[in-house]
Amino acid sequence: EIVLTQSPGTLSLSLGESATLSCRASQSVSSSYLAWYQQKPGQAPRLLIYGASTRATAIPGRFSGSGSGTDFTLTISRLQSEDFAVYYCQQYGTSPVTFGPGTKVDI
Q: Which residue ranges make up the site for another protein (CB under 8 A)?
A: 33, 35, 37, 43-47, 50, 56-57, 88, 90, 92-102
- 35: β partners: 90
Burial of residue 104 (CB within 10 Å: 0-12, 13-18, 19+) is: middle
**Of 43 and 81, which CB lies nearer to another protein in the complex structure?**
43
DSSP state of 97: P
Work out how close the CB of 56 gets to another protein at its nearest, in angstroms, rounded to a whole number: 6
Do residues 45 and 37 lie in contact, with contact meaning Cβ atoms separated by under 8 Å? yes
**Of 54 and 80, which CB lies nearer to another protein in the complex structure?**
54
Work out how close the CB of 15 gets to another protein at its nearest, in angstroms, rounded to a whole number: 26
Work out how close the CB of 54 gets to another protein at its nearest, in angstroms, rounded to a whole number: 10
Q: Are strands 54-55 and 46-50 parallel, antiparallel or unpaired?
A: antiparallel
**Of 77 and 98, which CB lies nearer to another protein in the complex structure?**
98
